[in-house]
Structure 1
Amino acid sequence: MNFLTLLSLISLGLSFPLNHTLPTTSPKVDKFQPKVFVVTMFSLEEEHWLQNVYFANNFTLPGLSPLYPMVHCTTDFDVCHVTTGEGEINAANTMMALLLNPLFDYSETFWLINGIAGGHPQEISYGSVTIAKYAVQVALQYEMSYNDIMADHKNWTSGYWSYGSDDPLAYPENVYGTEVFELNEKLRDKALEVAKSVEDQFVEGSERNIGLRKLYPSPANKKPFVKGCDVLTSDTYFSAKTLDDYFYNLTSVLTNGSATYCSTAQEDNASLEAFIRLAKSGVARYDRVIVMRSISDYAQPPSNFTDPVYWFNEYDQGGIQASLDNLFTAGFAIVEDILNNWDNYTEIQADNYLGDIFGTLGGKMDFGKESYVIH
């Protein structure tokens, strides 16, 4: 029985046992070959997948998050799911443990990173779905309290500046290698096409959500839509205009003007670093990773709010259910399309640069500098 047949049966009200334990060391178990692996980051993101997809095989793997120790797979193992835990450390450790697990063969697997994010209101609206070509890690910088430096640096707008420089918007001289990742643009565009085909199924959210959008100019005041634009990674949950605008400009600097920041999350560069390292060894396909983020909140308040702390802590933005619903609607459509059109997807070949700031996977980078100080 295939994945889509199972979904049809579930829609008729049939139920199935949802727990089945598999050994992790038995030599009798062949390697499983998922066609699609869905990656969420925390409980709210995983709920739609666990409630609406029949995962017959649910088993623990070593090295996964203590909060989310299980992998979930359909009967035929064509579709699997994992939750990493929030933040860069959790994402990196979960993905590395998962990719190195000997139960799986990932040589043909497509990956859908499927989570919510903050949104830059100059580019996107609440409840919208974004799919990235670039993931940019913005918190690898020097930082001082702005109050300590403002007297001597009146033209600075924050306390951040790039490693090895004395300019907030200079390209860093010192890099770690995880600052920028570029993904398969053709696969991104195909995912955008599929997501846009279900855009009319998106929910607008609560009355509070609808009212929230009206506080902003376009495009933040629009109904939820699908857009190809880029994601930031930072463990620091930043908010308000000064930092949001600074990171918007820094994104352009770090990608030589190629990336447009519209969503901000805590995990994607960490997950992509695991993919880069294992793709280098042939374990996984970096060119088959899709990064999808829906917008659960705005990263800065509307212009008439004078107290960003109140906005951040107290103002009711209406909850995040619309972003979660639309995230699953678009994500499920892509998973379904990959399964139904497998041969077409396997023929998608990237013609843009793929990889990190070090050129780990080869090819000619379209961002970065000729040389860096690497520690």
Structure 2
Amino acid sequence: MRFLSCLAALSALALSSGIARAAPTPIRVVVVTTFEIGHDTGDTPGEFQTWVERLPLSTTIPAPGTDHDVMRYNPELHVLGIVSGEGPEHMASAITALALDPRFDLRHAYFVLAGISGIDPNFGPVGAAVWAPSVVNGGLAHLIDPREIPADWPDGFTPIQGATPDPKPRPALHSLSGDMAYTLDPGLVRWAYGLTRAVPLPDTPGLRTIRARYTGFPKAQTAPAVLLGDTLSGETFWVGERMNRWAERWVSYWTDNHGTMATTAEEDIGFLQALTAQAKAGRVDARRALILRTASNYDMPPPGQTAAQLLAHETGNEEAYSGFLPSLDAAYRIGSVVVRELATHWDRYDAAPPSAPSP
């Protein structure tokens, strides 16, 4: 009884002194970006600045202990924007910190990761916006040096749980060895795609110049569009035709031949790992996650150029960044349609995620 009396006394003291914690703010949508170059407004933009200026996200909220130090908020839409920092570790840390932040109620929030990426020229064009049905971990594997792999292997990668490139049956996606793949809510992904597939994307002279070099890759030479395709998530910025072949094989293997390698990025596996873990504690609903990747470059060189030459071309060459600004614009242009729909029609989407039927 003495313990309960002490608790009651402490509660009364907190109330009388005005330090009782305010009720958490309900959030409808969290916009997740991975980097900002300088300031949040008024200079060369990264992924975050376009959202801050155009949605807008006008209210600044301190975010101590995070990579970016501040979050941004739109109180009319109840939309929160964050910068995770690049890489899966930064992403997992940022999402976990946000989920544990007592200032916010995220139990019904939708999480829209909107970031730039590389794209497979066998899948689509630079400048495209791609909704991901699934994410495959490209950073967790056994790797044998290419100079030592068996002659009949396609590449040097094997699952952590196996000693050959494609052991049968396929190992578990989630095990002590790590998380290899996540499938996002199919109905929600189809809904987001259906809502945005007809939104036009700009086709700039720079984009046309980039894709014109990819002769023999018909999908790479189409105009930018909204597409559906899977993301390979890994920290290594790999490049080249052979690595691209591995990526296509790896995505196909871990999705039981249902997935299609489309984009390559860093943070997506950490994003879904953190949301899944926090969902177990009831802090978030992992079914309400969406990933939109917009293509700023191809992940392999065009015909007549080596991987090393492409890497050199993309280092310190302004022409190589012709897809950068259009991809930032596409991330906002497409992502904001979904964010605004969810936030402004909350009566439809609060209780349960929207869902489009299978085709």
| TM superposition score normalised by structure 2 | 0.83
CA–CA separation in structure 1 for the residues paired with 2:57 and 2:252: 41
Q: Deviations over 1:5-40 (max 9, x none)?
A: xxxxxxxxxxxxxxxxxxxx9534321111111000
Q: From 29, 35, 42, give the equivalent of 1:42.
A: 35
Is 1:40–1:84's contact at 8 Å kept on the other side of the alignment? yes
Partner of 1:168: 165
1:77 shift after superposition: 6.3
Listed as ranges, the matches of 1:1-375 within 5 Å are: 27-43=20-36, 44-65=46-67, 68-76=68-76, 78-147=78-147, 149-150=148-149, 153-170=150-167, 171-172=170-171, 176-198=177-199, 200=200, 202-205=201-204, 207-216=205-214, 217-305=217-305, 307-314=306-313, 316-317=319-320, 318-346=322-350, 347-348=352-353
In structure 2, give the amino acid aligned to 1:49: W
CA–CA separation in structure 2 for the residues paired with 1:236 and 1:37: 27
In structure 2, give the amino acid aligned to 1:215: R
CA–CA separation in structure 1 for the residues paired with 2:126 and 2:249: 21
1:327 shift after superposition: 1.1
Is 2:161–2:177's contact at 8 Å kept on the other side of the alignment? no
1:342 shift after superposition: 2.4
In structure 2, give the amino acid aligned to 1:309: A
In structure 1, give the amino acid aligned to 2:185: N
CA–CA separation in structure 2 for the residues paired with 1:39 and 1:294: 14
CA–CA separation in structure 2 for the residues paired with 1:186 and 1:297: 29
| Change in 2 beyond 3 A, CA 1:328/1:77 | closer
In structure 1, give the amino acid aligned to 2:25: F
CA–CA separation in structure 1 for the residues paired with 2:282 and 2:356: 19
1:72 shift after superposition: 0.8
Partner of 1:369: none
Unaligned 5+ segments in structure 1 are: 1-24, 353-375
CA–CA separation in structure 2 for the residues paired with 1:80 and 1:255: 32
CA–CA separation in structure 2 for the residues paired with 1:139 and 1:54: 35
1:59 shift after superposition: 1.8
1:348 shift after superposition: 3.3
Q: Which structure's CA Rg is the greater one? A: 2
Unaligned 5+ segments in structure 2 are: 1-17, 37-45
Is 2:64–2:70's contact at 8 Å kept on the other side of the alignment? no
Partner of 1:362: none
Is 1:143–1:161's contact at 8 Å kept on the other side of the alignment? yes
Q: Deviations over 1:136-171 (max 9, x none)?
A: 102211123212x14xx1122433222232212333
| TM superposition score normalised by structure 1 | 0.80
In structure 2, give the amino acid aligned to 1:226: V
Is 2:134–2:182's contact at 8 Å kept on the other side of the alignment? yes
Q: Deviations over 1:251-304 (max 9, x none)?
A: 111111121110110001101111001111111011111111000110111233
Is 2:191–2:354's contact at 8 Å kept on the other side of the alignment? no
Q: Percent identity?
A: 23
Is 1:194–1:330's contact at 8 Å kept on the other side of the alignment? no
| Change in 2 beyond 3 A, CA 1:91/1:53 | same
CA–CA separation in structure 2 for the residues paired with 1:343 and 1:311: 49
Is 1:62–1:97's contact at 8 Å kept on the other side of the alignment? no
Partner of 2:8: none
CA–CA separation in structure 2 for the residues paired with 1:125 and 1:351: 26
1:175 shift after superposition: 5.2
CA–CA separation in structure 2 for the residues paired with 1:196 and 1:97: 33
CA–CA separation in structure 2 for the residues paired with 1:285 and 1:340: 20
1:107 shift after superposition: 1.3
SS at match of 1:264: strand
Structure 1 runs of 4+ off > 4 angstroms? 172-175, 349-352
Is 1:120–1:262's contact at 8 Å kept on the other side of the alignment? yes
CA–CA separation in structure 2 for the residues paired with 1:301 and 1:111: 33
Number of matched residues?
A: 319
1:64 shift after superposition: 1.6
CA–CA separation in structure 2 for the residues paired with 1:175 and 1:141: 13
